[in-house]
Structure 1
Amino acid sequence: MTNHNEKDHFESVNNQIISEFSKTLEMFSLNKTEAQLFVTLYLNNGPMTLDDMKEELGKSKTAMSYAIRRLLEFNLVERVWQKGIRKDLYEAREDLYKKFMKTYVNRWLESLNRQMNNLSDIKEELNDSNLELKSSFEHKINEAISFHRSLEEVFAKIKKNDFL
C-alpha cells in the first residue's frame, strides 16, 4: 500500500513542478502546452516519442506535434536517435538559461526592429500629408521610436556582453 501512495505522491510533486516551471516559461512567450511539454521533456530521464508525450500530458498527438515543432524552432529541444527505435525521439536541450535568454533576446530584438520600421513608415506617410496635427503626431512617433531604440540598446548590450 505504501508503494501506491509513494507513486501518487511522486506524480503529485511532478505535476506541481511541471505547473510551476511552465508558468515561468510562459513568460518567454511559449504557450501553455509548449511550456508543459518542454518541462516534461526536461524532467524526463530519456528521450520521448510523440506517443509518450501525448500519454504523459493527456493531449492530442496533433497538439504534441505542433508544440514539438515550435520547441524545435526555438532550439529548446532536439531530435535524437536510438538504435532499434523507428519513431522520432525528442529531448530537452541542457543549459536552460542561455537557451531561453538567447531565444528571448533575439525575439525582442526582431520585434523591436520590426516596430521601429513600422513607425518610420508611419512617419514617412505623415510627412506626405497636410494634417493640422502633423507636428503632434510626429512628436509622438519620435518618442515611440526613441523608446524602442532604448529597449533595443538594452537587449543588444545583453546579447553583446555574452550573458548568453
Structure 2
Amino acid sequence: MASEADKVQLEKTNNQIVSEFSKTLEMFSLNKTEAQLFVTLYLHEAPMTLDQMKDALGKSKTAMSYAIRRLQEFNLVERVWQKGVRKDLYEARQDLYKKFMKTYVNRWLESLNLQINNLAGIQEDLDHYPSDQKQLITHKIHEAISFHKSLEEVFSNIKKNDFL
C-alpha cells in the first residue's frame, strides 16, 4: 500500500504533468481552464462528472460546465453513458494530434475567411477618401488580402492533403 509521502509525490507529479501539458494546449487557443480540464480528462482512467472535475481542478462547477461545453464544441471530449450513473460523464478523445490539428486548421480557415471578407468590406467603403489616399489604402488592403489568401491556401492544402 502506498504511503502518505508516495501519495503526495504522485499528486505533485500529476499536477506538474497537467501544468506542462496544458501550456502546450493553450497554444491551440484553449484558455487555461479548458486546457487543464482536457489534460485532466485525458490522464484520468475513467470518465468524470462535473463534480469530479471541479474537485480535481479546484474550480467552480460553473467553470467546469463552461469549459466542458467548449471542449465539446472543439470535438475534444465526448459525453459518455455508464449504466447506473445518473450524472453526465465526460472523457477526452484519444487521438490527440489529429483532433487538435483538425480543430486548429479549421479555426485558422474560419478566421482567415472572416478577415478576408472584412478587409474586402473595408475596401468597398473607401468612397469618401481623396483619390490619392484611396489608392494607397486600396493597395495596403490588397496586400493584406493577398497575405490572408496565402495563409488560407497553406491551411487548405494541409486540410486537403489529409496531413491531419
- The residue that corresponds to 2:107 in the other structure is 107
The amino acid that maps onto 1:72 is: Q
The amino acid that maps onto 1:10 is: L
The amino acid that maps onto 2:141 is: I
Distance, in Å, in 1 between the alignment partners of 2:92 and 2:52 is 14
RMSD: 1.2
Instruction: Please give the secondary structure, in 2, of the residue aligned with 1:121.
Output: helix
- The residue that corresponds to 1:10 in the other structure is 10
- The residue that corresponds to 1:37 in the other structure is 37
- The residue that corresponds to 2:66 in the other structure is 66
The amino acid that maps onto 2:128 is: S
Matching of residues 123-142 of structure 1 within 5 Å: 123-126=123-126, 128-131=127-130, 132-142=132-142
Q: Deviations over 1:78-118 (max 9, x none)?
A: 00000000000000001000000000000000000000000
- Please report the TM-score for the alignment, with normalisation by the length of structure 2: 0.97
Structure 1 gaps, min length 5 = none
- Please report the TM-score for the alignment, with normalisation by the length of structure 1: 0.97
Distance, in Å, in 2 between the alignment partners of 1:15 and 1:158 is 34
Structure 2 gaps, min length 5 = none
Distance, in Å, in 1 between the alignment partners of 2:155 and 2:69 is 26
Distance, in Å, in 2 between the alignment partners of 1:157 and 1:3 is 54
How far residue 125 of structure 1 moved from its aligned partner, in angstroms, is 1.1
The amino acid that maps onto 2:138 is: E
Aligned residues: 163
Q: Deviations over 1:111-133 (max 9, x none)?
A: 0000000000111111x334241
- The residue that corresponds to 2:22 in the other structure is 22
The amino acid that maps onto 2:147 is: F
Counterparts in 2 of 1:47 and 1:2: CA distance versus 1, 3 Å: closer
Instruction: Please give the secondary structure, in 2, of the residue aligned with 1:133.
Output: helix
- The residue that corresponds to 2:159 in the other structure is 159
